[in-house]
Amino acid sequence: MTRRRPTPMQATFTRWKVSISLALLAIAVLIPFVYPNQYGTGVMVTMMILITLNASWNFTLGHAGVWNFGQLALYAAGGYGCGMLVLHASFPPVLALIGGALAGAVFATLLALPTLRLFGIYTSLLTFAAAVVLQLVIQNDDTGATGGAFGLPSIQGFFGGLDPLWQVRAWYWLCLAIAVATVVGLAVLMKQPFGLALRTLRDSLPYGSARGVDPRRYRVLAFALSGALAGLAGGLYTLYNGSIAPNVMGLTPLSIYVTMIVVGGLGTITGPIIGTVILTIVQQALIDHPGTQLTVLGLVLLVIVVFFPRGIAAEGAKVTRRVEAWMNEEEEVGGDAMAPVPVTASGRA
Amino acid sequence: MTDLISIAVTTVVLGSIYGLVAIGMTMIYGILRVLDMSQGSMVMVGGFVGWGIMTSAGWSPIVALVAAFAACFALGVVTQLVSVQPLIGRRGVDFEMITFITTFAVAIVFSNVALQIWGAGQHPVPNIVSGSVELYNGVNLTYQSMLMAGVSIAIMIAFGVFLTRSRYGIAVRAIAQDVDAARLMGVPIKRVFPVVMGFASALAGIAGVFLAGQYFASPTAGDQPLLIALIVVVFGGLGSLPGTIVAAYAIGLIQASASTLIGTTWALPILYGVILLVLLVRPQGLLGRPMEARL
Amino acid sequence: MPAADASPVLSVRGLSAGYGESDIIHDVSFDVGAGETLVIVGPNGHGKSTVLRAISGLISASTGEVELDGRRIDGERAEVRSERGLIHIPQGDHLFPELTVEENLLMGAFPAAAWKRRAGELDRVYELFPKLRERREQHARTLSGGERRMVAVGRGLMRSPRLLVIDEPSLGLAPVIVEAVYETIERIAAQGTSILLVEENFTHIEGVADRVCVLEMGRIVRSGAAAEIAADATVAQSYLGVLEA
């Protein structure tokens, strides 16, 4: 048999994937009406902010393959940057949000530069140490700029004029839009030459360098972009909660977010969404047993990683590929009008 | 002068304890290529074993040390079998990163189970020996510190002798250098791997008993030792035993000077600052060998 | 020379093996008698190393039998064969670079039984290779190519092997060093150790070989006493080029 052109069936299948995504998106948009509960919508706002954060983190940790464990410093830089602009400089929230994203990008660039000479575990320690230093500096800060251990209170965010339920809904849609834009944008970027270059460098540094891809430039650019998105997520966090404190960083949030990314699938497009949604559900299911929350989380992480080291998204992709192959096979056996295969007297009536 | 002597004393005590935790980590990394994030939990468990045996049961400290060694050895073996062994040789995964994450998951489970059992409170553990001697003009050296440093140094020396003289000691170093050749020599690596992790965990458990006497037993008691052990291990050059021991005392010195001269709150930020600088100047750590150019 | 009057140390019957789907060696059979040195000669890429790897268990054979001292070993793992006394010294030596010479040698005596006799064996190896005694505290990575080969051979001797299997001892060494290595192999053979080794040609082996097999395209095409094979005109043309010049 000669190699087949993309068949109508395959085109249908891709269309089918797109329609599923659109259907899921529609559900996501409409869910506040089906589930008209202020608390639940609030949980989903946080979830959307975390999807943005985790997608940005997955970009350096998964797609670029840099052991970056300092992402929460960028998140905090965005959150604090945004909060300080509102409180100390009376910026309007929109501008403060952009300022937060810029702060994240600047911090990310500063973080990327020293990692250029490091590899693997050394990178993780350096980035993690940077985050710890930032947290300790903020905690010990007594100038009033960051509010020290207590953080920055009473920051005015968006949608102040709406009644509480519509306010949280509006927040939900805003954060949903940003999360979707982030994930889709990164997915598109990974198909561009920039994304291909990043992946090449991750899989084989020598090969990538030999092909003329400058690792330094790409790593710094990837960090800056990732930092801008993390900073944006941090700004959203501050504006939504009306406050920010040093406990947005630290080992506990770090372990939760790493779990989300890894369970979803490091270096996959849909992984951050899947992981964040699943673990948010797990956490909410255990909300009455706060003591067991983290234990279960640790067990989930351990089991998923040992059985599916590449995460749920990668396993899902395997299943999808199998379905696709099965559908194509089906088509071959049945034959379509274009195929020059004589239709034999098969069992098909 | 007072400051200098008290810094020197603190350096020796801290450095010895850090060395005890960090040689385990560096050994696990050298042999298994795993940065074992569950080592902090072993310090924590050691602390609780010490509390249970000395405070609750009122038994002798010797029993506590032996029990901590045994308990953490068993936990280390289990951790290896659950979170590392199944991933060896798995295709398409970055082994170092994935085991970093699985051992981290084990650490999350351990500290939260401890939280469930014993609560978040701090449990006092008595010192193994009481009393102190005045060294100079108000600088006291407690017998507990002396014992801690002494036992840690003795263990490190014994460990060094084991690695250079004994059959399994040499084999363990051989595995770290060439797994395939070690197999050709008949070394049963499948059995050695869990034992190595058990042994390293046992050392961390002993350190845990000592540290709990100095501070408290609590579910988060392992967090800071883990961070510091990580720093020591990376600072010394991953997998290099002499480097690790030098680094342990260097870190002890930095921490002792910072807290004596500037203040305890700033000890950690300064420590991290120094690490950042060292890694910028020597990306492969103090005594680590530079990676050959990758091309 | 001790011939096949006593039962052979190693007996190979109908051995076929390779990598993946296809076999590289086909239906290879030979014996190595007690105290005998058998050399397999053949061009590169015709399967010499594959024969050795199949015998020591680094790859599994697709058909055939391998017996060591009259006992079937073809189902065993490489570690077990090595404990039975079949010592394979692979190409490239595989020393432990950060261990000292002496520690590398001691690793050769890792099995419990050999470990007990390690002091005596060390002396024996140092007698064979006086140079290694001088360098006993040196790290293996600092040695020259010839010294590394000596450590590799010495490490094999540390567990008093029943059969020493050596893959191209001359590979990558300067001619003078090769001569030294072969002198040692001769001395090891003289002490009664059975040896199976492979080489590309006859250049170095004449002093050590009792019998020779010629391996071409994965099959043994000639075998016999060393002198007889060397005298053979067709073999001479293919493998004795150096001597004719």
Whether residue B287 is predicted with pLDDT greater than 70 in this model: the reply is no
Output the CA–CA distances (angstroms, integers) from residue A55 to A108, B50, B93, C220, in the order listed. Answer: 15, 43, 20, 62
Q: CB within 8 A of A235, min separation 6: which ones? A: A78, A79, A81, A82, A96, A97, A99, A100, A101
CA–CA separation, C25 and C48 (whole Å): 8
Length of chain B: 295
Q: What is the percent of chain A with per-residue pLDDT over 90, rounded to a whole number?
A: 36
Residues of chain A contacting B265 with CB distance shorter than 8 Å: 140
Nearest Cβ partner for A295 among B113, B234, B275: B113
Mutate to test the interface with A, among B82, B84, B272 (most CBs of A within 10 A): B272
> For C59-99, how does the pLDDT look when each residue is reduced to its tens digit (9 = 90+)?
888 899 999 998 898 888 877 888 888 888 888 778 898 88
CA C179 to chain centroid, in Å, comes to 16
CB contact under 8 A, C107 and B171: yes
Whether residue B283 is predicted with pLDDT greater than 80 in this model: the reply is no
How far is it between the farthest Cα atoms of chain B? 62
Whether the complex's predicted ipTM surpasses the cut of 0.85: no
CA–CA–CA angle B223, B228, B233 (5° rounding): 125
Task: Name the nearest CA neighbour of C167 among C143, C200, C192.
Answer: C200
Report the range of poorest mean pLDDT among A95-99, B34-38, B80-84, B130-134.
B130-134
Tell me which DSSP letter residue B290 carries. Answer: P
Looking at chain A, the number of H-run helices and the number of E-run strands are 13, 0
CA A298 to chain centroid, in Å, comes to 20
State which amino acid sits at residue A323. V
Mutate to test the interface with B, among A115, A123, A132, A136 (most CBs of B within 10 A): A136
Q: CB within 8 A of A233, min separation 6: which ones? A: A49, A50, A52, A53, A56, A75, A78
> Higher-confidence residue: A263 or C227?
A263
What pLDDT does C173 receive?
A: 84
Q: Scanning the structure block, which residue is given the tokens 């040195």?
A: C37
Whether residue A3 is predicted with pLDDT greater than 60 in this model: the reply is no
CB contact under 8 A, B177 and C99: yes
- Going by pLDDT thresholds of 50, 70 and 90, the confidence category of residue A144 is confident
Q: Does residue C116 belong to the interface with chain B, where contact is any CB pair within 8 Å?
A: no
Q: Scanning the structure block, which residue is given the tokens 């993690």?
A: A128
Q: Does residue C59 belong to the interface with chain B, where contact is any CB pair within 8 Å?
A: no
Count of pairs with CB atoms under 8 A, one residue in A, one in B: 118
> Higher-confidence residue: B159 or A44?
A44
- Looking at chain B from residue 178 to 217, which residues have their Cβ under 8 Å from any Cβ of chain C? 178, 180-188
Kindly provide the b/e burial profile for residues C25-47, where b requires at least 16 CB atoms within 10 angstroms of the residue's own CB: bbebebbbbbbbbbbbbbeeebb
Q: How far is B89 from chain C (nearest CA, A)?
A: 17
Q: Which residue of C has its CA nearest to B187?
A: C110
Mean pLDDT of A143-165: 84
Mutate to test the interface with B, among C81, C107, C157, C164 (most CBs of B within 10 A): C107
pTM: 0.76
CB contact under 8 A, A114 and B273: no
CB contact under 8 A, C82 and B184: yes
CB contact under 8 A, B171 and C90: no
Mutate to test the interface with B, among C99, C102, C105, C122 (most CBs of B within 10 A): C99
> For C182-210, how does the pLDDT look when each residue is reduced to its tens digit (9 = 90+)?
888 888 898 889 999 998 877 788 888 89
CA–CA separation, C235 and C42 (whole Å): 10
What pLDDT does A44 receive?
A: 93
Q: How far is B61 from chain A (nearest CA, A)?
A: 31
> Higher-confidence residue: C22 or A231?
A231
**With contact defined as beta carbons under 8 Å apart, do C96 and C140 qualify?**
yes
The three-class DSSP label of residue A143 is coil
CB contact under 8 A, A291 and B285: no
Report the range of poorest mean pLDDT among B91-100, B226-235, C22-31.
B91-100
Whether residue A17 is predicted with pLDDT greater than 90 in this model: the reply is no
Mean pLDDT of A24-39: 86
What pLDDT does B222 receive?
A: 87
What pLDDT does A148 receive?
A: 84
Q: Which residue of C has its CA nearest to B182?
A: C107
The bridge status of strand C86-89 relative to strand C163-167 is parallel
Tell me which DSSP letter residue A61 carries. Answer: I
Question: Which of B103-107, B134-138, C220-224 reaches the highest mean pLDDT?
Answer: B103-107
Task: Name the nearest CA neighbour of A108 among A238, A237, A233.
Answer: A233
Q: Does residue A113 belong to the interface with chain B, where contact is any CB pair within 8 Å?
A: no
What pLDDT does A232 receive?
A: 96
Residues of chain A contacting B107 with CB distance shorter than 8 Å: 298
Mutate to test the interface with B, among C87, C96, C103 (most CBs of B within 10 A): C96
What pLDDT does A104 receive?
A: 96
What percent of the residues of chain A are helix, what percent strand, and what percent coil, each to the nearest 5?
75, 0, 25
CB contact under 8 A, A118 and B279: yes
The three-class DSSP label of residue B166 is coil
Residues of chain A contacting B108 with CB distance shorter than 8 Å: 255, 294-295, 297-298, 301
Rounded to the nearest 5°, which phi and psi values hold at A337? -60, -30
Structure token digits, residue B124 = 């006092």
Q: How far is B177 from chain C (nearest CA, A)?
A: 6
What pLDDT does A1 receive?
A: 46
Q: Which residue of B has its CA nearest to C58?
A: B184
The three-class DSSP label of residue A336 is coil
Rounded to the nearest 5°, which phi and psi values hold at C219? -125, 150
Mean pLDDT of A75-85: 95
> For B56-73, how does the pLDDT look when each residue is reduced to its tens digit (9 = 90+)?
888 888 899 999 999 999
Per-residue three-class SS string for chain C = CCCCCCCCCEEEEEEEEEECCEEEEEEEEEEECCCCEEEEECCCCCCHHHHHHHHHCCCCCCEEEEEECCEECCCCCHHHHHHHCEEEECCCCCCCCCCEHHHHHHHHCCCHHHHHCHHHHHHHHHHHCHHHHHCCCCEHHHCCHHHHHHHHHHHHHCCCCCEEEEECCCCCCCHHHHHHHHHHHHHHHHCCCEEEEEECCCCCHHHCCCEEEEEECCEEEEEEEHHHHHHCHHHHHHHCHHHHC
What pLDDT does A347 receive?
A: 36
Radius of gyration of chain C (CA): 17
> Higher-confidence residue: B239 or B5?
B5
**DSSP assignment of B32-93, as one string?**
H----TTHHHHHHHHHHHHIIIIIIS---HHHHHHHHHHHHHHHHHHHIIIIIGGGTT-TTS
What pLDDT does C3 receive?
A: 46
CB contact under 8 A, C99 and B188: no
CA–CA separation, B201 and A331 (whole Å): 57
**With contact defined as beta carbons under 8 Å apart, do C220 and C30 qualify?**
yes
Count of pairs with CB atoms under 8 A, one residue in B, one in C: 53
Mean pLDDT of A282-296: 84
What pLDDT does C6 receive?
A: 64
CB contact under 8 A, C90 and B184: yes
How far is it between the farthest Cα atoms of chain A? 87
> For A296-324, how does the pLDDT look when each residue is reduced to its tens digit (9 = 90+)?
888 988 998 888 888 888 888 888 788 77
Whether residue A341 is predicted with pLDDT greater than 60 in this model: the reply is no
Task: Name the nearest CA neighbour of C223 among C94, C53, C38.
Answer: C38
Whether residue B118 is predicted with pLDDT greater than 60 in this model: the reply is yes
Nearest Cβ partner for B184 among C94, C106, C115: C94
CA–CA separation, B2 and B14 (whole Å): 18
Mean pLDDT of A73-98: 93
Mean pLDDT of B105-122: 88
Q: How far is C83 from chain B (nearest CA, A)?
A: 7
Structure token digits, residue B226 = 């883990």
- Looking at chain B from residue 9 to 68, which residues have their Cβ under 8 Å from any Cβ of chain A? 35
Task: Name the nearest CA neighbour of B221 among B207, B237, B241.
Answer: B207
Structure token digits, residue B165 = 């003289």
Whether residue A136 is predicted with pLDDT greater than 80 in this model: the reply is yes
- Looking at chain B from residue 124 to 183, which residues have their Cβ under 8 Å from any Cβ of chain A? none
Task: Name the nearest CA neighbour of B39 among B234, B222, B192.
Answer: B222
The three-class DSSP label of residue A244 is strand
**DSSP assignment of A263-326, as one string?**
HH-TT-SSHHHHHHHHHHHHHHHTTT-HHHHHHHHHHHHHHHHHH-TTHHHHHHHHHHHHHHHH
Whether residue B42 is predicted with pLDDT greater than 70 in this model: the reply is yes
Q: How far is A238 from chain B (nearest CA, A)?
A: 25
Q: Does residue B108 belong to the interface with chain A, where contact is any CB pair within 8 Å?
A: yes
The bridge status of strand C63-68 relative to strand C71-72 is antiparallel
